[in-house]
Structure 1
Amino acid sequence: MLNHQPKLAISADFLDAFSRIPRQIQGKVNVFVEKFKKDPTSSGINYESINGRDSRLKSVRIDLSYRAIVFKPDKGNTYILLWVDNHDDAYSWAQRRVCKINPESGALQIIDIEEASAIEAEISSRRIPQIPGRFDSIPDKYLLRLGIPDELLGAVRAVVTDEDIDKLVSKLPEEAADALLMLGAGYSIEETLTAQDKNREQTIDTDNIDAALEKDDSKRRFRVVENETELLEILAAPLEKWRVFLHPSQRRLVERDWKGPVRVLGGAGTGKTVVAMHRAKWLAENRFTNSGDRILFTTFTRNLAVDIEANLRKICSPETMRRIRVENIDAWVTSFLKSEGVTTKIVYDDQVAELWEKAYECKPESPSLTLAFYQDEWREVIQANKITNLKQYLTVTRTGRGTRLNRAERAAIWVVFEEYRSLLQQKGWKEAEDAMRDACSLLQNKPGETLPFKAVIVDEAQDMSDAVFSLIRAIVPPKNDGNDIFIVGDPHQRIYGRKVVLSRCGIDIRGRSHKLRINYRTTDETRKWATMVLDGITFDDLDGEQDDLKGYRSLLHGDQPVVKGFSSFEDEMNFISTYLQQLESSGTPLSNVCIVVRTNSLVKQYASALENLNVKVREIKRTQPDNLSEQGVRIATMHRVKGLQFDYVVLASINDGILPLKSALSNTADKAAYNSLINSERSLIHVAATRAKRCVTLTYYGQSSCLIPVTKAIPLQK
């Protein structure tokens, strides 16, 4: 028996429009939508025709001044909320648009006909007839299958330059933008169709709205609402669309069975953490559903774990959250060892400084090496290669180390490492790497006993070591049904100086490696600047090969990043204070602005200075998520803002001697260590700048950091 109950879908565009209307009108919209959801065919809903391009787009009354635009089907029972605005603007929006099903991809698309015509005319006006179009050789049916609407084929055919592509991608449906960026970056049509999972021909019914809404491409723009509670939850947080809408490339990673470990790379803002969170939710709700099943979601630092858990609670029910454990990897190791009766204290760099000083007293006269060299050698050679005795150290490969050592020299300096390890043992301390290996050994030596974890989700993988991934492999041993390990990361955002080769840790990702290319957070102007900071650095792909940002683009556009220099700290602070006042007076809450600095001591200094200028400040803590309902400009270190986003970011005190830190530079042992530190600091600037959704401003006083791209510097302000 057919179900004739009317269905309601809501578009991402509707949420955008809803978020911008006055709060009192939002309340009226909520009342209307609840009524509409119950029965969109009710006689109390007065559909008004619009003299536009699509007769199925209708206006409905919110109050005397505001209208919603609804897709009212000629046949079928699915209604779609598309837009809400004041009367004239709502009508104007609807008159320019059509709602139609792409005949090759099957996705439901909203197309602005006037905008499509304008962008085609603009690109065509620059074209030189003798130069062939970039995509002339690709048949229309393949472009349509990739999601390009028929109305925009002319604009695509007119493309010649990268500038043309940049102009066009923001006008396309996002699945089409992703595909066009791949084609523009040099991928073949076959490679692009495969990457987009569109190499199979389909039979499409262009009148079947219900079937169209089931397509992954449509789910990026539309959500079929099951009940009133779900609808109200969506309207309560209209700007947090990541809860509801996934890009097709993201959904393909989340909602499927994988036969083994998966690695997902992507530049800043491409939604890697969103994908990881939705993957955890999907597994908990669709695959590992027994009451005793658990999923471990782990990341590198405690503050990131805090932020991720807070966001997971926004998309998961309490029952689902009960079966997802979110914990940074060091904290998990500590609790696991404790449960096994191991009471060793795990210690970190600042805690072992005194032990290193004592061990350094045992150094030989020759070769003459700095304390920093010994510490780097310990971390990058001895710990990285699990070396426990001199024989192993004499034969290990030291690729990448800047100071060469023959075997006699290695034998001479081994005494320092031996003394350091002895001092750790006397204290009953272990470094995190050793604790990881202890936990790994305990798991491997108990094959009959298993943890409750069915899967491990790993975020910020670029900052984790071989020891971490060997442990993760032990937490979830390989199994026939797969879905065991899901890894996301970006080597360009590596800020803790670690490199990993997954295959050496027993994690085989062959055939299950994927790339996200579209930045949904920052403007393309910010993306370009932040990427320029990394020019000349070679990055790995977490498995022994190189990674790049080929095809990485943003769909948003805005102001260029601004770099301003001042003669004194006081002048810099006066500028920042005035800038914050201007943002606030233009309607931007200061909770959407973050001042980002290099160190904790600078956080205190800048917070105090801002408060003295009567600016309310809230420091983002390591152990708790940021609460946007609390007023005040945010302030945090560059490390702490990892994983966060704000409308506006001010990178302050980008001074010589602070970026890179003078104290850290003075302790580098050799040229290799120096280069490693510089690259890490550049990645830190990249990370901090890409937290900005709308605009990033950099300030300094005195001499600017040498790491700021010179072409963007602005002279000292009077």
Structure 2
Amino acid sequence: MPHLAIDATCLPQYDKLDRPTRERLLAVTRKFRELPIGALLSHPDLRIRPLPAGQDPRIRTFRISDTWTGVMLAPESGETFLLVHLLPRDSAEDWAGDQRHDVNSVMGTLERRDATALERAGERRSAGRRPSSGGARDRPVPAASPAGAAPAAAAPAAPAGGASADGSPAPLFAHVSDRDLARLGVDPEIRDFCRALGGIGELRDWRPALPQDQYEVLSALAEGHSVARVLDEVVAPRRPSVGAVATDDYDTAIRHTRERVIVVNDDQEIEDVLAGEFNAWRIYLHPKQRDLAYRARFNGPAKVSGGPGTGKTVVALHRVKYLAEHLPLGGRVLLTSFTNALVESLKRNLALLIPPELVADVDVVTTDKLALDVVKEVHPDVRLRTDTKGVFANYSRQHRLPYPVDFLFSEYRHVVMAQGITSLDGYLDPDARRGRSTPLSVPQRREVWHAISEARAMMRHSRRLPAEDLHAEAARILDARAGKPYTNLVVDEAQDLHPAQWRTLRAAVERGYNDMFIAGDNRQRIYDNTVSFRRLGIEVVGRSYPLRVNYRTTEEILTWADGILRGHDVTELGETLPEPAGTTRCVLSGPPPELHGAADEPAELDAVADRVRRWLADGIAPGDICVTARTNRLRDSVAAHLRARSLPASIFNPREHAVTDAAGTVRVTTMHGVKGLEFRAVAVSGITADALPQMDHVTSADLDENQHRADLDAQRSLLYVACTRAREHLYVTWHGAPSPFLPT
């Protein structure tokens, strides 16, 4: 019987289908399991048709509805059909006729290229002109868009090839031999084509026309990575584990193309892949993700890191599933994250992944709620304090201290509580303030210590503890217990936790194999917490695993967003050293981000409203659109402005509202509120020089230069997080002077 596989290209298009067309598509896909190949190909309702002679003989089109057509690859051998694309009927055959599918002889993967565009580029080259994407029919069409869509704009970059003898830029790949390109899986046609490219921007402009895996090889080389590194990081992970894949074995190649293709086995899996609650690439585990999530044994804490969209959260959720299925009698799993909003999202998704009887063995709470519950068991009257800085301000004012409140609060959070210092001698230790740029003499340290100690005593006396002190008490209680409350612990969005929170977590779970599973990304650290796992007794050496494939965000959005962090070192999660070198690859492609600067705030809000109206007109559902703002005031202004223009908009509070709510409105929230979520289209508004950075939230450089930089980096990461919530469309606006964080 036939099998059906689904290409990632289909995912953005599926969102454009109305409900009857989606139901029709699902009915069509069921026939791939119900009918033998002969009956399938001749079925009158499907109207499966080959392309005209001279085009790829393996490609077929089939009818979904009166207005939509599917494009699939029907191998000459084997039984696996690949659903390649979903297109409006009047453009499907033209798009399909331009495409050709081949098996990469080095990587064993299935690749698609725009044969027509590449052929015409070759004709121009033969005529003495370099390939160009300037002609209407010769321009590469983005793989996730219907025929005729404009290609992504070229991103300016210096070519990797340096300069020629006369000082002009050398061809982009002049430094790479044909032999090395062949070793990396670049075939003769693409080798010939890429020799004429002059810059990385031109390469990116041609991405939709190039074979996907070969493009990633060329992109890594153009970014300056060595042949050896590209071979190790891009080519080797794609090679089949057992034997080579023959260039005519399309069935095996389809199944081996695991980063872009999902082989589905039943009706529910088909529906989940196309439009399930998690969205296709969030419920499906690719081989490396599955190995990490379902590995039987880690001999201690394990860490998974990776950029936005690489699947850290879904790996964490599946890890919880595995642990819950293998709990000893009386065991419990803790799944935790930083905020209530993120925890609510984890609860909803976990309930969809595992049955109620397993959910009952899992606690899903914030780290602060965990600490509060532990402390309340011993001190029932204790509450969590949220105005800690105000306490330090009152104390400083009453005692006329010479230190600004920001300085005292920073010493409390980033020195005393971060290092778990419990005595004056500990604070006087020469290494206690390592990394602080403001020197303090011994008498000054004594004075600061006594101020912090007395302010903490006041808070203890009131029975309202700040989070840092609450965690210190929780860790003390848990350390004193003979037994621990949890058998296993899984942490999501780990980058934002304070060292005091990590001490509670470490004390809440028995040490041993599979004790801690940690997922996070320091690029997305929006709070100024710096952590060393080693100093906290969390040893992950030899058990750290990077994820390098982005399944959510288009390359155009991620490449632009990476410019927000350009020039600023990203440290490894749980370490103070720079993140290990490596490249993140994107599965999807789409239009570049749009940037709009306005004269004033009303004009900016008008532009946001116009962009939202156009997204809605393009068929994007209101619930798939989000508008973010830097402050609550601007959030409220945006929502009111959209509603005043008859657009369906509502303020979105992640603590109260689920992204699955069928409210039928555009979500408007703060940049903090969108953390951990994703939408097809995102407008990031109010990115002005006054709002980012928001200097009243930044420690003065005169007080502490290092903390000043850390505060700025946290706000820079906040912008990065907001922009990378977009899957397909990103619109960034400001009025007046733009934020200096925006890529130039």
TM more than 0.5: yes
Partner residue in 2 for 1:306: 344
- Change in Cα spacing, 1:445 to 1:597, as seen in structure 2 (3 Å) is same
Matched residue SS, 1:499: coil
After superposition, the C-alpha distances for 1:67-86 in whole angstroms (9 at most, x for unaligned) are: 54444454444444444445
The alpha carbon displacement at 1:20 in A equals 3.7
Matched residue SS, 1:546: coil
Q: Single out whichever of 369-378 and 78-87 deviates more from structure 2.
A: 78-87
Count matched residues.
690
Partner residue in 2 for 1:715: none
Q: Single out whichever of 631-640 and 14-23 deviates more from structure 2.
A: 14-23
The alpha carbon displacement at 1:710 in A equals 8.8
The alpha carbon displacement at 1:160 in A equals 6.4
Partner residue in 1 for 2:653: 621
* 1:26-65 superposed matches below 5 A: 26-41=22-37, 43=39, 45-46=41-42, 47-50=48-51, 51=53, 53-62=55-64
Partner residue in 2 for 1:273: 313
Q: Does 1:497 align with 2:493?
A: no
Q: Does 1:343 align with 2:361?
A: no
In the alignment, the residues of structure 2 paired with residue 75 and residue 611 of structure 1 have an alpha-carbon distance, to the nearest angstrom, of 56
Partner residue in 1 for 2:155: none
Q: Does 1:577 align with 2:612?
A: no
After superposition, the C-alpha distances for 1:143-191 in whole angstroms (9 at most, x for unaligned) are: 23xxx56764544566664335534555566655555544444444444
Counterpart code for 1:264: V
Q: Does 1:219 align with 2:219?
A: no
Structure 1 contact 460–488 (Cα < 8 Å) conserved: yes
Q: Does 1:107 align with 2:119?
A: no
The alpha carbon displacement at 1:303 in A equals 0.8
- Change in Cα spacing, 1:619 to 1:125, as seen in structure 2 (3 Å) is same
After superposition, the C-alpha distances for 1:575-614 in whole angstroms (9 at most, x for unaligned) are: 4334433433343333333232222343334434444444
Counterpart code for 1:308: L
Q: Does 1:406 align with 2:429?
A: no
Structure 1 contact 277–312 (Cα < 8 Å) conserved: yes
Q: Does 1:485 align with 2:520?
A: no
Structure 1 contact 19–239 (Cα < 8 Å) conserved: no
- Change in Cα spacing, 1:157 to 1:488, as seen in structure 2 (3 Å) is farther
- Change in Cα spacing, 1:524 to 1:223, as seen in structure 2 (3 Å) is closer
Counterpart code for 2:336: T
Pick aligned residue for 2:8 from 5, 12, 31: 12
Partner residue in 1 for 2:540: 509
Matched residue SS, 1:399: coil
- Change in Cα spacing, 1:64 to 1:488, as seen in structure 2 (3 Å) is closer
The alpha carbon displacement at 1:546 in A equals 1.5
Structure 2 contact 564–743 (Cα < 8 Å) conserved: no
Structure 1 contact 594–650 (Cα < 8 Å) conserved: yes
Counterpart code for 1:385: Q
After superposition, the C-alpha distances for 1:264-312 in whole angstroms (9 at most, x for unaligned) are: 3333344433443344445556xx3668554433221111122233334
Pick aligned residue for 1:356 from 385, 392, 405: 392
Structure 2 contact 184–231 (Cα < 8 Å) conserved: no
In the alignment, the residues of structure 2 paired with residue 205 and residue 600 of structure 1 have an alpha-carbon distance, to the nearest angstrom, of 56
Q: Does 1:416 align with 2:451?
A: yes
Partner residue in 1 for 2:174: 133
Matched residue SS, 1:308: helix
In the alignment, the residues of structure 2 paired with residue 312 and residue 154 of structure 1 have an alpha-carbon distance, to the nearest angstrom, of 49
In the alignment, the residues of structure 2 paired with residue 644 and residue 432 of structure 1 have an alpha-carbon distance, to the nearest angstrom, of 25
In the alignment, the residues of structure 2 paired with residue 334 and residue 97 of structure 1 have an alpha-carbon distance, to the nearest angstrom, of 59
Structure 1 contact 243–314 (Cα < 8 Å) conserved: no
| Aligned residues with identical type, % of pairs | 28
Q: Does 1:242 align with 2:281?
A: yes
Q: Which runs of 5+ in 2 are unaligned?
A: 43-47, 132-160
In the alignment, the residues of structure 2 paired with residue 12 and residue 323 of structure 1 have an alpha-carbon distance, to the nearest angstrom, of 35
Matched residue SS, 2:518: strand
In the alignment, the residues of structure 2 paired with residue 176 and residue 253 of structure 1 have an alpha-carbon distance, to the nearest angstrom, of 27
Partner residue in 2 for 1:566: 599
Pick aligned residue for 2:666 from 624, 628, 633: 633
Q: Single out whichever of 424-433 and 635-644 deviates more from structure 2.
A: 424-433
- Change in Cα spacing, 1:633 to 1:311, as seen in structure 2 (3 Å) is same
- Change in Cα spacing, 1:56 to 1:617, as seen in structure 2 (3 Å) is closer
Counterpart code for 1:653: G
After superposition, the C-alpha distances for 1:503-550 in whole angstroms (9 at most, x for unaligned) are: 112222323334444555445554455444434433322312023886
Q: Single out whichever of 276-285 and 612-621 deviates more from structure 2.
A: 276-285
Partner residue in 2 for 1:370: 404
Q: Does 1:204 align with 2:252?
A: no
* 1:119-268 superposed matches below 5 A: 125=130, 133-136=174-177, 139=180, 142-144=183-185, 152-155=190-193, 161-163=199-201, 165-167=203-205, 171=209, 177-195=215-233, 196-197=236-237, 202-206=242-246, 211-212=252-253, 215=256, 218-237=257-276, 240-246=279-285, 250=289, 253-254=292-293, 256=295, 258-268=298-308
- Change in Cα spacing, 1:640 to 1:266, as seen in structure 2 (3 Å) is same
In the alignment, the residues of structure 2 paired with residue 354 and residue 504 of structure 1 have an alpha-carbon distance, to the nearest angstrom, of 30
In the alignment, the residues of structure 2 paired with residue 358 and residue 622 of structure 1 have an alpha-carbon distance, to the nearest angstrom, of 33
**Considering only aligned residues, what root-mean-square deviation do their CA atoms show, in Å?**
3.9
Counterpart code for 1:10: I
Q: Does 1:383 align with 2:421?
A: no
Pick aligned residue for 2:428 from 389, 394, 397: 394
In the alignment, the residues of structure 1 paired with residue 72 and residue 635 of structure 2 have an alpha-carbon distance, to the nearest angstrom, of 49
Counterpart code for 2:116: E
Partner residue in 2 for 1:716: none
After superposition, the C-alpha distances for 1:645-668 in whole angstroms (9 at most, x for unaligned) are: 234333333445443335435888
- Change in Cα spacing, 1:706 to 1:44, as seen in structure 2 (3 Å) is closer
Counterpart code for 2:481: K
Partner residue in 1 for 2:623: 591
After superposition, the C-alpha distances for 1:406-462 in whole angstroms (9 at most, x for unaligned) are: 111111232211211211221123332333333334443334x244433x3322222
Matched residue SS, 1:219: coil
Counterpart code for 1:652: S
Partner residue in 2 for 1:679: 713
The alpha carbon displacement at 1:387 in A equals 1.3
Matched residue SS, 2:5: strand
Structure 1 contact 220–245 (Cα < 8 Å) conserved: no
In the alignment, the residues of structure 2 paired with residue 503 and residue 6 of structure 1 have an alpha-carbon distance, to the nearest angstrom, of 52
- Change in Cα spacing, 1:545 to 1:62, as seen in structure 2 (3 Å) is closer
- Change in Cα spacing, 1:468 to 1:122, as seen in structure 2 (3 Å) is farther
Structure 2 contact 623–664 (Cα < 8 Å) conserved: yes
| TM-score normalised according to structure 2 size | 0.80
Q: Does 1:473 align with 2:506?
A: yes
Matched residue SS, 2:672: coil
